[in-house]
Amino acid sequence: MFSLKLDDPKILTSSIGVISDFISEATFSFKKEGIKLVAMDPANISMVILDILPSAFTEYDVKEEQEITINLDNLKQALKRVRPGEILNIESAANKLKISITGRSSKEFLIPLLEKEGKDRKIPELEFNSIMEVDSNEFKEFVEDAAVVDDALVFETNGDTFLLKAGDAGSKLCIELKKGSDALSNIDSKSNSKSIYSVEYLKKMAKSASLSNIVKMGFSSDYPLRLDFVALNKGQMSFVLAPRIENK
């Protein structure tokens, strides 16, 4: 059993909105140390990792560890009904998730829980040659820029420079970021790296910019990309994205 209260539900509503772009049903673990989720999209191209800390809640009462599986669209639509200034309460209740919204009126949604399908996913242990910290809103804009010319985005490091490239013989895009600039606060490269990733998936991931001012990135040549959006004292939304391997 669990009972949660939020005076500011932004981290929860934003996280659910992003996750629902990848999967239609999700299994959440409610633990004393927070809410956790690890899931793969149906194409097995990306992994979504969510960790919301108890400190993100006004009240966080989890008596014992519990897993629930729920339809994300149903959950997202209910959470959308929370208006600024209203209080959100979430409880487990007899095979349903009870969402109560209190403001000038009181509303209650009951969403049925589902049977869990599939196996538990483990977060892969990855080691990266290139790690950097980029302004998250700038990164979101860079991905939108790339979408204008192509459906793939090249990540490349060269010393203290981070390059993003898209396009081919026709329309092209090249973005250059230097270490210490407003957009690239830090970069650490053991060696130069180059890898290609799907713009479609990156656009979905970049929506997490609403949770954090900085996105931490890690990648190597022709290797998975990891993105971490950290909301201080509230939690973290992370992604692992498989690279596109082009025939050489």
pTM of the predicted model as reported, rounded to 2 decimal places: 0.94
Q: Which helix (H) or strand (E) holds 13?
A: helix 10-19
pLDDT in tens, 24-48: 999 999 999 999 999 999 999 999 9
Is 223:243 a contact under the CB 8 Å cutoff? yes
The most confident of 91-105, 132-146, 160-174, by mean pLDDT: 132-146
Selection from 61, 37, 33 nearest residue 49 by Cα: 37
Residue 248 has pLDDT above 80, yes or no: no
The CA distance from 143 to 206, in Å, is: 8
Residue 182 has pLDDT above 70, yes or no: yes
Is 56:96 a contact under the CB 8 Å cutoff? no
The CA distance from 83 to 7, in Å, is: 11
Domains of the chain, CATH where assigned: 2-112 (3.70.10.10), 130-241 (3.70.10.10)
In order, the DSSP letters of 201-239 are: HHHHHHGGGGT-SEEEEEE-TTS-EEEEEEETTTEEEEE
